[in-house]
């Protein structure tokens, strides 16, 4: 199979009611992309062959970005009913199972493209069905991609209809500043009972302390985590993950409890700043100035507004704010690198020894903390 599809096996010990589940993490490039055109075979046909192979071993589930827009078109054969006489004749030759007539998917994207038609055909031939727009909680009926040209649904969870009842939650989460795609949150019933009710009252004070890893305390930290593993798992039961807010609350509860457990081993008090001056900070983006920070904040506000209400106006504001921020960042970065390059070129010609001395000092400072001088007696 292509490197754009990764198969994982979820052992039946995790989900006894389902048995072994074979999960395919899928990425299919757009049909107009040069990456898609380099394939020497039909990607969907190849994927279907692997689906048939893994379906003989257990349940199959697909999740990922297919770049396929399917609107609310049917992913099963409509009115798949044969006359009794035909069925009687077929029984002597082969088994024929009619497609279950599922509810129409709720999809805000009303466009079907070429890859969408191929994905729908794959579903009809394999017996897998699209979960987006069908989950009983209704938190999966949202756009999964936002770009300059518009919004669309191209990221899916696809599995057989008999697996649907075992999927406890399926949420299209909020968009972030790290990707044009919205994260998909899925939770499958495991059949395992997890004790609820956790009490955690201590909060992490990031202003007064921070955490530093100490390799010498590795065994102690591992033992602490093993002893409190059940308590950590309770954090995800205290807040049912029914929305983006409840997911954030679960994560905050988990990180707070984890910090409580690790505080005695790895917490380091933050040094007080008696002089009133802010300590020097190491920036990985030296070109990040006030103007760029202002455009960053504008981009962040536009993103929050878009996540709150995905209409055309908010989408245009988001695209404009993102474009302004990205363009200015690229411009400032080029200017900074050009300036640094010109400076090095000038030093190389005028003062070549200064370059060697500068790099030698950095190297010595980097390894100074690792060197220990041990006196020897002769």
In the chain, the percentage of residues whose pLDDT exceeds 70 is 76
125 φ, ψ (degrees, to nearest 5) = -80, -30
Query: Quick check: pTM over 0.95?
Result: no
- In this prediction, residue 206 carries a pLDDT of 46
CA 245 to chain centroid, in Å, comes to: 17
- Written as six digits, the tokens of 2 are 């292509």
Q: pLDDT grade, residue 203 (50/70/90)? A: very low
Of 201-205, 206-210, 336-340, 367-371, minimum mean pLDDT range = 201-205
The pair of three-digit structure tokens given for residue 232, joined into one six-digit string: 């950590």
* pLDDT bracket for residue 107 (50, 70, 90): very high
When the pLDDT of each residue in the chain is averaged and rounded to a whole number, the result is 80
The pLDDT of residue 83 is above 60: no
Cα dist from 238 to 13, 136, 200, 251, whole Å: 24, 22, 11, 11
Tell me the domain boundaries of the chain. Answer: 5-188, 209-269, 290-362
Exposure b/e, 110-128, CB count within 10 A at least 16 = b: eebbebbebbbebbbebbb
**H runs (alpha helix) in the chain:** 34-37, 43-55, 84-91, 114-126, 218-227, 229-233, 235-238, 244-266, 290-308, 312-350, 352-368
Please name the residue that has the structure tokens 């690790």. Answer: 262
CATH no., domain 5-188: 3.60.10.10
DSSP 72: T
Tokens of 8: 């994982």
Tokens of 108: 């805000």
Residue 151 pLDDT greater than 90, yes or no: yes
d(C-alpha 135, C-alpha 171), whole Å: 9
The size of the chain, in residues, is 378
Q: What is the pLDDT of residue 331?
A: 94
Q: How confident is the model over 246-286, as pLDDT tens digits? A: 777 888 888 888 888 888 788 877 666 555 555 555 567 88
**pLDDT for the residue 92:** 53
**Distance between CA atoms of residues 39 and 22, nearest Å:** 24
């Amino acid at each position: 199979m292509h490197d754009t599809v990764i198969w994982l096996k979820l052992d039946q010990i995790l989900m006894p009611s389902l048995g072994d589940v074979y999960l395919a993490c899928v990425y299919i490039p757009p049909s107009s992309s040069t990456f898609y055109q380099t394939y020497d075979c039909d990607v969907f046909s190849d994927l279907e062959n692997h689906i048939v192979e893994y379906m003989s071993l257990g349940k199959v589930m697909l999740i990922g970005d297919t770049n396929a827009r399917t609107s609310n078109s049917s992913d099963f054969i409509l009115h798949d009913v044969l006359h009794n006489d035909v069925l009687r004749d077929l029984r002597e030759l082969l088994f024929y199972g009619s497609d279950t007539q599922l509810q129409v998917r709720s999809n805000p994207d009303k466009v079907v493209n070429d890859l969408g038609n191929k994905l729908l055909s794959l579903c009809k031939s394999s017996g897998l069905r699209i979960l987006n727009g069908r989950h009983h909680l209704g938190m999966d009926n949202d756009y999964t991609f936002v770009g300059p040209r518009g919004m669309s649904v191209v990221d899916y969870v696809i599995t057989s209809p008999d697996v649907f009842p075992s999927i406890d939650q399926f949420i299209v989460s909020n968009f972030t500043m790290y990707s044009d795609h919205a994260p998909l949150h899925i939770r499958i019933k495991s059949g395992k009972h997890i004790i609820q009710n956790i009490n955690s009252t201590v909060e992490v004070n990031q202003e007064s302390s921070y955490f530093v890893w100490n390799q010498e305390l590795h065994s102690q930290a591992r033992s602490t985590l093993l002893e409190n593993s059940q308590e950590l798992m309770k954090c995800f039961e205290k807040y049912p993950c029914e929305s983006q807010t409840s997911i954030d609350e679960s994560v905050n509860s988990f990180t707070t409890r984890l910090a409580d457990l690790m505080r005695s081993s790895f917490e380091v008090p933050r040094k007080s700043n008696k002089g009133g001056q802010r300590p020097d900070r190491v920036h990985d983006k030296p070109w990040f100035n006030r103007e760029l920070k202002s455009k960053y904040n504008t981009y962040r506000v536009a993103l929050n507004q878009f996540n709150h209400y995905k209409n055309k106006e908010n989408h245009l504001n988001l695209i404009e704010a993102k474009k302004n921020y990205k363009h200015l960042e690229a411009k400032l970065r080029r200017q900074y690198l050009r300036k640094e390059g010109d400076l090095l070129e000038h030093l190389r010609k005028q003062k070549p020894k200064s370059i060697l001395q500068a790099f030698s000092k950095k190297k010595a400072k980097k390894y100074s903390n690792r060197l220990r001088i041990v006196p020897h007696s002769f």
